[in-house]
Chain A
Amino acid sequence: MGLNAKNKKARSKERAAKILIWSAAVSVMAVLFFIVVYILVKGLPVVSIGFLTEIPSNMGRSGGISSTIVGTVLITLVAVAIAAPFGIGTAFYLAEYTRESIVTRIIRFCAESLAGIPSIVYGLFGFIFFVIYLGFGYSVLSGGLTLAFMILPTIIRTSEEAIKTVPNIYREVSMSLGASKWQTIYKVVFPSALRGIANGIVLSIGRSIAETAAVIYTAGSVLRMPSSMFSSSRTMAVHFFILASEGISMENAFGTAALLVILIFFINVVVNMLVNRFIAKGR
């Protein structure tokens, strides 16, 4: 066999691999594109100013979905506001303040186990603990707290990974300039890890917004505009679920779905912009 023949074989293999990888990527894109376009095409015709600003009436057959948008935003805000500080704090503790030991292994094991629990179990826990035991009732607060527990592992895991990717030499340089450990973490490690941490938070926001099972048992499904942390509220995902599963209005269900997709997309863009601005300020 000459040099040429070998070369030919390698080249055809190369070409086959390229086509295989390319088609995998394209099919993933196509599926994603199809889902989004399908939902938008079905849903967008329903969306109007009224749909955004009016409270649902007649079980959601008519009127808008404004109260469910407010409910979704409030519950997600409560969840992230509580889970982010604890999650990021735990991640810094694991990555910066301890060495691998039995304690860190226990914390990581707990976090990973929490991540694997089905969301309906969080719903049951939230119902028993927040709704009944602590007496918060079906409310924005109960829903938000339950979701906080649910997204905590994601935030811990992604933040820890982000902190670990910060080159160790940055820490050494900072210490060599006489910075304390806290100054090093706050001024050097945190800004460098911020993008990864923000990605984890966006992921958690997406999960909170999309969650149905855990909130239906903790925040309830009342269609009124929530007036406080203790009012029961229906999120967009729950609204979609009830509209579709009880056959109330498929059109409004798709309208809600379309808005959910747009909302998640919008949050992604806004968080990225905020991170870029923060980083640009530091440059």
Chain B
Amino acid sequence: MKRFLRFSLKSSCCSTIIFNMPEAVAKISTVGLNLHYGSFHALKNVSMDIYARQITAIIGPSGCGKSSLLRVFNRMNDLIPGAKVTGSVTIDGSDVYDKTSDVTELRKRVGMVFQKPNVFPASVYENISIGPKNHGVAKNEWDKIVERSLRQVALWDELKDGLKKPGQGLSLGQQQRLCIARALAVEPDVILMDESCSALDPESTMKIEDLMNVLAELYTIVIVTHNMEQALRVSDYAAFIMLADGDGENKAGTLFEYAPTIDLFSNPKHKYTEDYITGRFG
């Protein structure tokens, strides 16, 4: 936010707009990304760069493909029958959907936090160590990883004496922070957060937002949110997605606008963006 950024529209037609902010380093890039669920065109021609160590918010009305876009980045859409991705998605320059790329390696690098706190029915310790265990990290490292991850989410002091206690016994806010710690334990570069505060009370939400700001020093964070204030508070960049009739075809999720958050909110280039962020629909 602090540095000077340029925002340019390279093309007049919205489906082929390329959003380009060359001063920042791109962590994830999509070019001409299309996502189909069977015959439904969920995302159409999305080209955008997600910048390293920034918080990017994806906003838009319900059902526009926000979560789908998030799940393109760690290939969670692979689990949905009939999902098909075309176009290119790269992380640090390597192709995410290449036949030779390993989904496990990708998901180690791109962690995810879900909408509701979904702590496994196991101890706090087990919840955090499950990732490293699966990836064959040596047993004597687990204690260190658990402590480091809990410190990162500011839960260590609260939980260090109760690591063997069931994780589901914590408050909802603590559970969601535990879920973030669980994602951090596999040492990702990118953290995807899919409406991760929507099930929480305002105080817990505030704690998670503070946490996002701290984590953004080290990690690239992409959030999906319905909460405009939250997008404005925490994100450096914002992308507005909406279902639109592209070129007279069926409706498809389209990236209408992508800019530094302040610019997008103070000076929206597109009428739909303005209508949405001012609460006229959505």
The interface bits of chain A over 154-179 (1 if a CB of B lies within 8 angstroms of the residue's CB, else 0) are 00000000000001011111111111
Q: Would you call A177 and B130 a contact (CB within 8 A)?
A: yes
The interface bits of chain A over 5-37 (1 if a CB of B lies within 8 angstroms of the residue's CB, else 0) are 000000000000000000000000000000000
Query: Given A172-B76, A172-B114: A178 and B104 within 8 A (CB)?
Result: yes
Q: Report the bound CA distance from A176 to B131 in whole Å.
A: 10
B207 contacts partner chain A, Cβ-Cβ < 8 Å: no
A263 contacts partner chain B, Cβ-Cβ < 8 Å: no
A276 contacts partner chain B, Cβ-Cβ < 8 Å: no
- Segment touching A, from B116-124, B227-235, B247-255: B116-124
The interface bits of chain B over 167-183 (1 if a CB of A lies within 8 angstroms of the residue's CB, else 0) are 00000000000010011
B279 contacts partner chain A, Cβ-Cβ < 8 Å: no
Q: Would you call A170 and B120 a contact (CB within 8 A)?
A: yes
Within B36-79, the residues touching A (CB, 8 Å) are 74, 76, 79
Chain B residues lying within 8 Å of A188, measured Cβ to Cβ, are 120, 130
A104 contacts partner chain B, Cβ-Cβ < 8 Å: no
A180 contacts partner chain B, Cβ-Cβ < 8 Å: yes
Q: Report the bound CA distance from A175 to B131 in whole Å.
A: 10
Interface size for chain A: under 10, 10 to 19, 20 to 34, or 35 or more residues? 20 to 34
Interface size for chain B: under 10, 10 to 19, 20 to 34, or 35 or more residues? 20 to 34
- How many pairs of residues, A versus B, come closer than 8 Å at their CB atoms? 73
Q: Report the bound CA distance from A272 to B138 in whole Å.
A: 33
Closest chain A residue to B135, Cβ basis: A178
The one of B81, B121, B165, B183 that contacts A177, using a Cβ cutoff of 8 Å: B183
Q: Would you call B134 and A179 a contact (CB within 8 A)?
A: yes
Q: Would you call B122 and A283 a contact (CB within 8 A)?
A: yes
A2 contacts partner chain B, Cβ-Cβ < 8 Å: no
Chain A residues lying within 8 Å of B123, measured Cβ to Cβ, are 282-283
Distance in Å: Cβ of B219 to nearest Cβ of chain A: 15
A183 contacts partner chain B, Cβ-Cβ < 8 Å: yes
Q: Would you call A177 and B131 a contact (CB within 8 A)?
A: yes
Closest chain A residue to B119, Cβ basis: A173
Q: Would you call A169 and B107 a contact (CB within 8 A)?
A: no
Chain B residues lying within 8 Å of A177, measured Cβ to Cβ, are 107, 111, 130-131, 134, 182-183, 186
Chain A residues lying within 8 Å of B107, measured Cβ to Cβ, are 175-178
Q: Report the bound CA distance from A99 to B130 in whole Å.
A: 27
Query: Considering residues A174, A175, A176, A187, which has the most beta carbons from chain B within 10 angstroms of its beta carbon?
Result: A176
Chain B residues lying within 8 Å of A119, measured Cβ to Cβ, are none
The interface bits of chain A over 246-280 (1 if a CB of B lies within 8 angstroms of the residue's CB, else 0) are 00000000000000000000000000000000010
Which residues of chain A have a CB within 8 Å of any CB of chain B? 99, 167, 169-180, 183, 187-188, 191-192, 279, 282-283
Which residues of chain B have a CB within 8 Å of any CB of chain A? 74, 76, 79, 81, 104-108, 111-112, 114, 116, 118, 120-123, 126, 130-131, 133-135, 164-166, 179, 182-183, 186
